[in-house]
Structure 1
């Protein structure tokens, strides 16, 4: 029997992160794995008590069934996309994988890399916004930073959402 893996997926509900979820489900996830959906909320966007309570370590792991409840996800300053939740629910049922969410507050680049170590991830999948060279230099690319600094294999998924 193959050992279960912990697979992190960076999620901000943009088209590129949705493509990353789809790619991970279709190409990487296998039965018995654990998918940890990593959300990073800007502290400027959310000053909730949850953020203050879990500022250093992030939220507790939130089972998918709980996270699918809008009041729970909103408590953490998130507004999940129903399509992503449906994809995650479907893979959890079809491939018998555990799906949990983890919410961090701060800089996405640093928090995703920190999650790799904190959660002992076997790999992490992130989407690419497709920034040009100048914007990547000025704004900084989360995917580039994660590739250069994460302590596990990183897959950056590029592409357009399938209709």
Structure 2
């Protein structure tokens, strides 16, 4: 894909989304690239920021600001220490710029909206590994996004081991 790419990663801090992040860092991004973590909060959330940014999503949040603890109060989001460590490491060692953006609503729609809004070159997301019955009843975010996103989508299944 070349350098200076923008790679979106759908992040909900589940094991599968952490695997998607690790896979992206190990296999996809390089110096000059940008990672945008895409968070989708429940539409039922009542934070003041939701009322302000519900239609467009939050402003882009740089990694330095994202690491601050007031993020949970401001956006109702608590960053995971393991995720922050991976992001900090890729930022320092590979020179990858890392930002986050928070949306509110249905993850299927909002992830596809983010692809359009942020002009990502590629999107990576984890798969919860639902069985056929649960996938039919609950719907699969990854299936929906693969079908409807306007960029290439990589779905990472299961745990991904880091390179030695």
Could you tell me which residue of structure 2 aligns to residue 6 of structure 1?
6
Deviates more, 1:152-161 or 1:22-31: 152-161
Q: Deviations over 1:106-152 (max 9, x none)?
A: 00010000000000000000000000011111101111100000000
Output aligned runs, 1:66-81, within 5 Å.
Answer: 66-81=65-80
Q: What is the aligned-residue RMSD (CA, Å)?
A: 1.2
Could you tell me which residue of structure 2 aligns to residue 120 of structure 1?
119
| Alignment length (residue pairs) | 161
How much does 1:159 deviate?
1.5
- The answer to whether structure 1 residue 28 and structure 2 residue 28 are counterparts is yes
- Could you tell me which runs of 5 or more consecutive residues in structure 1 were left unpaired when the two chains were aligned: none
For 1:66 and 1:24, locate their aligned partners in 2 and report how far apart those are by CA, in whole Å: 22
- The answer to whether structure 1 residue 41 and structure 2 residue 41 are counterparts is yes
Could you tell me which residue of structure 1 aligns to residue 106 of structure 2?
107
For 1:73 and 1:154, locate their aligned partners in 2 and report how far apart those are by CA, in whole Å: 29
Query: What TM-score, normalized by structure 1, do the two folds share?
Result: 0.95
Query: What TM-score, normalized by structure 2, do the two folds share?
Result: 0.95
CA contact (8 A) 2:23 2:160 kept: no
How much does 1:75 deviate?
1.2
- Could you tell me which runs of 5 or more consecutive residues in structure 2 were left unpaired when the two chains were aligned: none
Q: Runs of at least 4 residues of structure 1 off by over 3 A? A: none
